[in-house]
Structure 1
């Protein structure tokens, strides 16, 4: 994981009991690294899940989240400090500052949660796991040059590409660079 975002999305089982899903997204590859459904997920559980993810994928440069209690708990503050991972909290009421995870959550809501009746936690885990696998391995993203998130991540790992600063990923360039051999705009070249 290079830079990650996390957030919760909520739903309910067919019989009415609510559950939540902790979604963790790699901001660079757009992969869903984890989608963990459960009826209760504490700050300690979030820390355990992040530790397990880091053992599999490596340490991120930064994690982005909102100010939800689970993310501001002593368990998370201690974990981030001990892990030496920068944790960035978005401004209250500004969900687009966590745009990658918000976009993923919206897609999950539209394509899976609004379309599926879940009959229990095991059923939810199976259906969510299938959907995440499809999202990561079969869906090309225009922002990734029409590669799937998994293919894009594998290519980054295989080529050892150096990534831009995660803050730069949140900003689009104003204009593209001039093609090779073209002088910068506004520069006059005097003929001799």
Structure 2
């Protein structure tokens, strides 16, 4: 293999071979000229004579045959135990009857040596996809969060004080035990598959009418930035199975798509965004009321889109991908 200090790089090999084959130099003289051994010069000259310039590159050192390679039935059993039971090399080796090092080599070859390569729920290899340009696919989903009582929630003030704050929050209905029912904040999120740019609104319900109106505003928001939406992917929630959602998508010229039931991996980008949103906004700091937390969401969305590096897109910001490809962002 050629390297920085190699006597013969592919270009030097070609010059050496041409001296011998094309110009008729003796092999020993050409080898002395390039400070290599006689067999080395002869090898490159013979390869040039047969393959020409294309033969000057390095060949793989992999053998043509591997008679002692692990049989395929054993490989399949190793892969099955890794997928379905998440066993390590030692445990798999004990069940299969081969060395742990052999199991590890098989897992490396099959790209299963790290459990992060396998989906922890389904036990299948992780299949990552990304649409080629902004607007090709939007992910939509709803994140449900319990409303924050006046005075702060239990995560920061403790359960005892949190219950007191909940009961002291005015203008709230009561349950049979006379505790205040604070309700739920429904964060309707729209995420672009290619750029990871996010759009979010908070509402008090997740009805079809609310979901459809959020989609309209999100499509207009992306259109103002030069992005034409083609498809929208949702789960199988009632709002997304409604006739209103279907008619709204048809009116906007969008093809609606739905995931398979109980398969959140399909729209995992927005599922991961919700986790990031919960850590970075919803539960990051103390909020004295639900109104305070809701007012903080636009600033966090702006920080996420414009300033937070995203590891899945080369540590660039989501808006940079939207800017580079659409060229119309303002």
SS across alignment from 1:14: coil
The RMSD of aligned alpha carbons is: 1.9
Change (3 A) 1:37 1:56: closer
Q: Which residue of 1 aligns with 2:195?
A: 29
Q: Give the CA deviation at 1:142.
A: 2.5
- Within 2, Cα distance between the matches of 1:142 and 1:14? 31
- Within 1, Cα distance between the matches of 2:278 and 2:256? 26
Q: Give the CA deviation at 1:155.
A: 1.0
Structure number having the greater helix percentage: 2
Q: Given that residues 188 and 214 in structure 2 are in contact (C-alpha distance below 8 angstroms), is that contact kept between their aligned partners in structure 1?
A: no
Q: Given that residues 4 and 27 in structure 1 are in contact (C-alpha distance below 8 angstroms), is that contact kept between their aligned partners in structure 2?
A: yes
**Is 2:145 the partner of 1:11?**
yes
Q: Given that residues 190 and 218 in structure 2 are in contact (C-alpha distance below 8 angstroms), is that contact kept between their aligned partners in structure 1?
A: no
Q: Which structure exhibits the higher relative contact order, with contacts defined as CA atoms closer than 8 Å and separated by 6 or more residues? A: 1
Unaligned runs of 5+ residues in structure 1 are 160-192
Q: Which residue of 2 aligns with 1:156?
A: 325
Q: Which residue of 1 aligns with 2:313?
A: 144
1:21-170 matches, cutoff 5 A: 21-32=187-198, 34-58=199-223, 59-116=228-285, 117=287, 119-120=289-290, 122-158=291-327
97-106 or 46-55: bigger deviation: 46-55
- Within 2, Cα distance between the matches of 1:151 and 1:80? 27
Q: Given that residues 142 and 187 in structure 2 are in contact (C-alpha distance below 8 angstroms), is that contact kept between their aligned partners in structure 1?
A: yes
Q: Given that residues 31 and 149 in structure 1 are in contact (C-alpha distance below 8 angstroms), is that contact kept between their aligned partners in structure 2?
A: yes
Deviations 1:57-106 (A, max 9, x none): 23312111101111111210111223231111001110010011111011
- Within 2, Cα distance between the matches of 1:106 and 1:138? 18
Q: How many residues align?
A: 157
SS across alignment from 2:233: strand
Structure number having the greater strand percentage: 1
| TM-score (normalised: structure 2) | 0.45
- Within 2, Cα distance between the matches of 1:96 and 1:136? 23
Q: Given that residues 12 and 118 in structure 1 are in contact (C-alpha distance below 8 angstroms), is that contact kept between their aligned partners in structure 2?
A: no
Which one has the largest radius of gyration? 2
Deviations 1:99-124 (A, max 9, x none): 1111101111222223343613x423
Q: Give the CA deviation at 1:50.
A: 1.6
| TM-score (normalised: structure 1) | 0.74
Q: Which residue of 1 aligns with 2:55?
A: none
- Within 2, Cα distance between the matches of 1:70 and 1:124? 25
Unaligned runs of 5+ residues in structure 2 are 1-133, 150-181
